Amino acid sequence: MALSNLHTNYTHGSYEKDRDYGLKFKENDRLLLDPRGLANLDAHSDKITSIAIGYGYDLVKNIDNLERDLTKYITSKNATFTASQALSKVKELINNANGVYNDTLATQINSYITLGSRENAEKLLDDSNKKYEEALTSALGSDNLSQSKERAAIISVLYNLAGGETKARLIAAIKSGIPSTIAAIRNDNRAEAWFQIRYASNGGDSRSTGIANRRVGESDMFGLYDTGSIDDESAKEVMRMYTIYKDKIVGEETTFSSAYQGHKAENEISSANKK
């Protein structure tokens, strides 16, 4: 039985607007909040694992797909290069970076290509969303999440975890990246899915305060409780989840204390605990 009692009290007016605003803010808030839409538009380093362009398009994970995905949106900064040739130079830079994806590399990439406008960044985000939406629907199968804040939260998790893949590989990445979350959604276990997003969805990568902050926001969007009042069964589900995972929860909240400040599980479960 699929997850029920989904939230559709959208902050920005619709599923698409809530999903897109959340992604834009998490992936490149400086671009989103820049009134001219030009600063922070092009390649930038996350200082850890990658180089992104626009609203989080990962140039490293998508290296085999750059021509397919970007040719219609980027402009070559070298008049003698076509867009495709400029992207070939970008691929050379990334392949020769030896895993060092820093500001210097971003500057070198920006000497070859530019997105040129906020509109192009938004169109590139739309293209990415279509891939993730189709792959999530396929990964969930008959237990599909309809448009909801819960679905928008899962799309945000996937956007951060998965890379540029064919549809089949992207589906496989979803199933391997958040298997327990997918299973919880299929079993209508909201509390389990909430825990998996908030405390366990790091895709096997090194956890960081930035990732922890992101997962807090995504789990808040997903919601620990169904719409409406909290019934006894929902309260029991929440308390059962907390009992099972208390040590993991406390460990995460201790290690990444700044991310969970004001967002500790003890506060989140208080409504269920009063039942």
Give the model confidence (pLDDT) of 232-275 as tens digits. 888 899 999 999 999 999 999 999 999 999 999 999 988 877 66
**Residue 166: pLDDT band by 50, 70, 90 thresholds?**
low
Phi, psi of 2 (to 5 degrees): -75, 165
Per-residue model confidence (pLDDT) at position 275: 60
Q: Flag the least confident range among 15-19, 113-117, 183-187, 190-194.
A: 183-187
Alpha carbon of 71 to those of 41, 107, 109, 118, 170: distances in Å?
16, 19, 15, 16, 21
Query: Higher-confidence residue: 133 or 229?
Result: 133
Per-residue model confidence (pLDDT) at position 272: 78
Query: Higher-confidence residue: 35 or 92?
Result: 92
Burial group, residue 270, by CB count within 10 angstroms (0-12, 13-18, 19+): exposed
Per-residue model confidence (pLDDT) at position 3: 87
**Residue 93: pLDDT band by 50, 70, 90 thresholds?**
very high
Q: What is the mean pLDDT of residues 160-186?
A: 78
Please report, rounded to a whole number, the percentage of residues in the chain having pLDDT higher than 90: 63
Rounded CA-CA distance 189/211 in Å is 23
Question: Which residue is it, tokens 């308390």?
Answer: 239
Q: What is the mean pLDDT of residues 63-81?
A: 94
**Residue 205: pLDDT band by 50, 70, 90 thresholds?**
low
Joined tokens for residue 140: 């969930």
Rounded CA-CA distance 271/234 in Å is 11
Residues 241 and 249: beta-carbon distance below 8 Å: no
Name the residue among 150, 155, 148, 160 with its Cα closest to residue 221.
150
pTM: 0.90
Per-residue model confidence (pLDDT) at position 168: 74
Per-residue model confidence (pLDDT) at position 40: 87
Tens digit of each residue's pLDDT (9 = 90 or more) over 30-43: 999 987 767 789 99
Q: What is the mean pLDDT of residues 14-42?
A: 90
Rounded CA-CA distance 46/174 in Å is 22
Radius of gyration of the chain (CA): 20
Tens digit of each residue's pLDDT (9 = 90 or more) over 111-161: 999 999 999 999 999 999 998 998 899 888 877 789 999 999 999 998 877
Rounded CA-CA distance 240/244 in Å is 6
